[in-house]
Amino acid sequence: MMILNNSRLYRKIDPELLKPMRSMSDKNATVILYARENCRCKEKLDNMGICVKYELPIIQGYCLEIPYGKISQLASLKQVEYIAADVTVKTQMNIASQEVGSNIVFNSGYKGKGISIAFIDTGIYPHADFIRPQGRIKAFKDFVSDRDTAYDDNGHGSFVAGVAAGSGYQSNGKYKGIAPEADIIMLKALDNGGGGGSSDILAAMQWVLDNYEKCNIRILSLSLGSNSTRSSLDALARGAEALWVKGIVVVAAAGNSGPNSNTITTPGVSGKIITVGAINDKRTANISDDEIANFSSRGPVGKKIKPDIVAPGVNITSVNSDTNYTGTNWVRSLSSSYTTMSGTSVSTPLVAGAAALLLQKNPEWTPEQIKKAIMNNAIQITKDENVEGKGIINIKMSMQL
């Protein structure tokens, strides 16, 4: 039975769900339920015959498959805090080409050895830069097709992993990543079009929370985003913050909706995590010609300054994928082993790689200490913190070398 005349219930339901509740009551929806603390919500869901797709203790919630017509009945339960739509999350790549740019790696003497970086993305292709001179893909989990063997049917995940942790083996070191000896954990939650539901991203975050000690995950890199709703009820931001509190450095893309203000995407809206915008460094070593990429999203987020930091994100070269590889055929040489892309998707793993170097040098450091070291040593190029945060990342100064 529909119960839509109660204004109190309206406040517990995402506005995105209200219209289809009226027009498609017999159709199924995927929603995210926030449960009130210490309640017996699972028992109520079972009694209502509602399908639980994921249990998400990371945000004290559930992902549900439920008819639109039952949403108001669900909202009437005292155990329910809020019901959110399963929003679409997309990669934060702006443009792509086959042009080859310059290497941006700073040779610090540290290479990320012993540090695991997790990525939630489109998957990973077993490129030579990840499996030679030794295999560094330490775990792969597929939330899209439930395959066991690593693959990437889009290419985005492999590219960003290469920016952070590619060995450069195929290019004789020319295109190695920032932390070329770091281990890689890839969680495929985005499909071959580079999109996915926030529920799958949250399930991947839950996997990180459940396995971070076993896999030695110290960093999570998120080159993805979606429009944020209410900051206090933003599921992706909540998930990212739960991981941060557990000691995992979470680095997220600011988004590619610039140059307008107030365009930071979630989970980058979180005040705790490191949110990364993009600069165009013109592929030169001279910082004087650097400029903020026009596409890079701007803050603020409410009263919070965002992004926190900016990094090169235009015409960066990294790993190319064989998107037809499904994990069943042997690794083969690509006609072009590397490609060039732009976006805050690119700048994000650069900062994640820098965090791996810092953690190798200072393994006892907390996420807050990593963030402070990165932000305090940045170089400003504008007068607007809601465009560049503290400025361009300076790996050398952050490492104090």
Q: Which of 153, 156, 167, 322 is catalytic?
A: 156
Report how far residue 332's alpha carbon sits from residue 327's, in angstroms, rounded to the nearest whole number.
12
Q: Is 142 a catalytic residue?
A: no
Taking a C-beta distance cutoff of 8 angstroms, is the pair 266, 237 a contact?
yes
Catalytic residue chosen out of the listed positions 86, 108, 116, 121: 121
Active-site residue 156, yes or no? yes
Interstrand relation of 217-222 and 116-121 (parallel, antiparallel or unpaired): parallel
Distance between CA atoms of 315 and 346, rounded to whole angstroms?
Answer: 9
Residue 20's SS3 state is helix
CB of 330 within 8 A of CB of 165? no
Residue 127 designated active-site: no
Alpha-carbon distance 289 to 282, whole Å? 7
Cβ–Cβ < 8 Å for 361, 399: yes
Distances (CA, A) of 248 to 52, 183, 270, 275, 364: 27, 15, 14, 14, 12
Distance CA 193, CA 312 (A): 24
Beta strands in 321-395 (DSSP E): 338-342
Report yes or no: 111 and 305 within 8 Å, Cβ to Cβ.
no
Residues forming beta bridges with residue 88, ordered by sequence position: 197
Q: How far apart are the first and last CA of the chain?
A: 66
Backbone angles phi, psi at 17, to 5 degrees: -95, -15
Catalytic residue among 270, 345, 347, 398: 345
Residue 55: beta bridge partners? 62
Asked if 311 contacts 280 with a C-beta cutoff of 8 angstroms, the reply is no
- The rounded distance, in Å, linking the Cα atoms of 378 and 130 is 30
Taking a C-beta distance cutoff of 8 angstroms, is the pair 126, 186 a contact? no
Q: Which residues belong to the active site?
A: 121, 156, 345
